[in-house]
Amino acid sequence: MTSVESGTRSLGEFTFECGESIDDLQIAYEAYGDFEAHADGGSNAILICHALTGSQNVSSEGVAGTSGQARAWWNDIVGPGKAIDTTEYYVVCANVPGSCYGSSGPPAENPATGEPWGTEFPPVTIGDWTRSQRRLLDELGVGRLHAVVGGSAGGMNVLDWAVQYPDDVARIVPVAAAARLDAQCLALDAIARRAITSDDDWQGGDYYGSEPPTDGLALARQVGHVMYLSKTSMQERFGRRAAGRDAVRSFPADRAAGYFPYREVESYLDYQAEKFVERFDPNSYLYLTRSMDDYDLSEGYESDADALAAYEGETLLMSFTGDWHFTVAQSESVAEACRTANVPVAHHVVESDHGHDAFLVEPEKVGPPLRDFLSSGLEGRAVHDTAEDESETDGDDDFAPVHNSLFGG
C-alpha cells in the first residue's frame, strides 16, 4: 500500500505576477510514496501538473474528495507498478491557485471579508502556478526534482518550470502541450468565457449563495469538449445518429426542433456539461482559461530557444496525431527550440484518433515511453524522436492540422 498525504498547506503572503498580493496562499495537494534525497543533490520526487480543470487527486491511491473527471484523473499512469510508480517515486500533485479544489481561488474564502473571493481574487498566470508549486515543495522539504510531468495546460506549466527553475529539475515531460495557444484556440476560449459572463446568473461573478451560472458554464464546457475530440473520433463515435427515444434535451429548443432529430453528439455534449457543472466553479473556469491563453514560452526572451537555454536537463515531448488543440507541429516547434538551445530532447509522436484527450485515455501508448524516460532518460527503449525519421519532419502535412472546417459556416 502506497503511503498518501493529502491536505492543504498555508504558504503565507504571495504576490501574483499581476502585482496584487494575498496574505495567505492556500495550496491543496496530494503526495504519494516516500521521499528520498540522493547524495548528488537530486531526489526521487516527481511533480505532476494537472490540466485545466483537473485536481490534485491524480491517482485512486489518493483521498476521495473530488468527483467526475477530476477524481483519480491519471489513475492508469500513476500508482504502484504503473508508469509513474508510486513505490519508486515520491509523487506530488498540487491544485493550482485560481482553481476550486481546495487551493486559493475565486470560490475560496477571503479572510478579510469572510465571503468568497469571487472576481476580487487576483488574476493568475501559469507562472504563478509554477511559483506556488515551488513554494509548496519547499514546505514539503523537496529540493531538486527528478521530473516534472504534465499534460495540456499542465504541459505549459511543465515548460515554465524549465524556464523559472532550470536547476531544480532533471527531466521534464510536457504532454500534448505547446509553447502558446494559436488564434483558433484563443477564439474558442473567448466564446466559452462569454457563455459564462452572458449568463444572467453570473452577476459579475458574485453568484455565491445564489443560483450559479450553470447554463453558461455548461455551454463553455461543450465548447471545450469539441476541442478535445478529433474530427475522426467524433465521426466514428457519433456520426449523424439520432439519440435514443428516452434522451431529453438539456437546453431550451425552438418549436421546429421537434421535427428534427436530437442527435447522439448533442446528447453527449449535454451529458458532459451536466456532469461538469456539478464539480467546477464558473469563475475558476474564467480564471484558468485566461491563465492558459496568456502563456507564452518566449515572453521576456528573444525566442523559445532563448527561454530554454538555461535548462540543462532532458526533455521528452509527447504529442498525438489526432490532437488539433495542441498539434504535433506545435510540439515539434518546441523540440526544435530545445535542439537550438542544446537541450537534450526527444519528441515522441503517438498515432491516435482520440484527439486531445488521448493522453488521458490511451495509457498503453503513453505509459511505456514515459516509464522508460523516467528511469533511463532519452536512452529509454520505448522513447522515440522525430529527428530519427526525416519523413516525419518533412512538413506540416504529416502533423495534425487545425480543422477549420469543424467550425465553418
Angstrom distance (rounded) from CA 59 to CA 208: 30
Angstrom distance (rounded) from CA 305 to CA 171: 17
- Between 2 and 142, name the one with better pLDDT: 142
pLDDT of amino acid 406: 31
Task: Say yes or no: 228 and 319 in one domain.
Answer: no
Angstrom distance (rounded) from CA 334 to CA 176: 12
Angstrom distance (rounded) from CA 281 to CA 99: 8
Task: Say yes or no: 211 and 151 in one domain.
Answer: no
Identity at 354, one-letter amino acid code: H
Residue 158 CB contacts under 8 Å (≥ 6 apart), including other chains: 49, 148, 149, 150, 172, 173, 174, 177
Give me 336's grid cell: 526544435
Q: What is the dihedral sign for C-alpha 331, 332, 336, 339?
A: positive
Catalytic site includes residue 215: no
DSSP state of 161: H
pLDDT of amino acid 405: 32
Give me 403's grid cell: 480543422
Q: What is the rounded average pLDDT for all residues in the chain? A: 91
Of the candidates 152, 233, 284, 291, the residue annotated as catalytic is: 152
Give pLDDT tens digits for 43-57: 999 999 999 999 999
How much of the chain exceeds pLDDT 70, in percent?
92
Of the candidates 304, 356, 357, 372, the residue annotated as catalytic is: 356
288, 320, 365, 389 from 348: Cα distances, Å: 27, 9, 10, 11
Split into its structural domains, the chain has a count of 2
Of the candidates 323, 353, 357, 372, the residue annotated as catalytic is: 323
Task: Say yes or no: 198 and 330 in one domain.
Answer: no
- As beta bridge partners, residue 37 has 43
Task: Say yes or no: 126 and 10 in one domain.
Answer: yes
- As beta bridge partners, residue 242 has 263
Give pLDDT tens digits for 262-302: 899 999 999 999 999 999 999 999 999 999 999 999 999 99
Give pLDDT tens digits for 98-137: 999 999 999 999 999 999 999 999 999 999 999 999 999 9
Residue 348 CB contacts under 8 Å (≥ 6 apart), including other chains: 316, 317, 318, 319, 369, 383, 384, 385
DSSP state of 398: G
Check which CATH number belongs to the domain holding 207 and give it.
1.10.1740.110
Domain stops at, among 233, 255, 290: 290
- Please give the distance of CA 32 from its chain centroid, rounded to a whole number: 20
Task: Say yes or no: 249 and 224 in one domain.
Answer: yes
Task: Say yes or no: 167 and 114 in one domain.
Answer: yes
Task: Say yes or no: 269 and 121 in one domain.
Answer: no
- Please give the distance of CA 267 from its chain centroid, rounded to a whole number: 25
Give me 10's grid cell: 498555508
Domain stops at, among 262, 290, 318: 290
- As beta bridge partners, residue 46 has 91, 147
Q: Is the model's pLDDT at 17 over the cut of 60?
A: yes
Residue 284: which H helix or E strand, with range? Answer: helix 282-294
Enclosing domain of residue 158: 4-182+295-405
Task: Say yes or no: 264 and 323 in one domain.
Answer: no
How much of the chain exceeds pLDDT 90, in percent?
81
Q: What's the whole-model pTM score?
A: 0.92
* 169-175/14-15 β-pairing: unpaired
- As beta bridge partners, residue 93 has 30, 48
Q: Where are the alpha helices (DSSP H) in 141-202?
A: 153-164, 183-197
Beta carbons of 61 and 32 less than 8 angstroms apart:
yes
Angstrom distance (rounded) from CA 90 to CA 356: 27
48, 58, 107, 245, 356 from 51: Cα distances, Å: 10, 11, 19, 35, 11
* 90-94/109-110 β-pairing: unpaired
Task: Say yes or no: 254 and 341 in one domain.
Answer: no
Task: Say yes or no: 22 and 81 in one domain.
Answer: yes
Catalytic site includes residue 323: yes
Task: Say yes or no: 319 and 259 in one domain.
Answer: no
- What pLDDT band is residue 323 in, cutting at 50, 70 and 90? very high
DSSP state of 315: E
- What pLDDT band is residue 394 in, cutting at 50, 70 and 90? low
Closest C-alpha to 101, from 144, 148, 54: 54
Task: Say yes or no: 330 and 376 in one domain.
Answer: yes
Domain stops at, among 290, 305, 339: 290
Q: What is the dihedral sign for C-alpha 274, 278, 282, 288?
A: negative
pLDDT of amino acid 408: 33
Angstrom distance (rounded) from CA 285 to CA 135: 24
Angstrom distance (rounded) from CA 255 to CA 246: 19
Give me 341's grid cell: 538551445
Check which CATH number belongs to the domain holding 378 and give it.
3.40.50.1820
What is the Cα Rg of the chain in Å? 21
Catalytic site includes residue 50: no
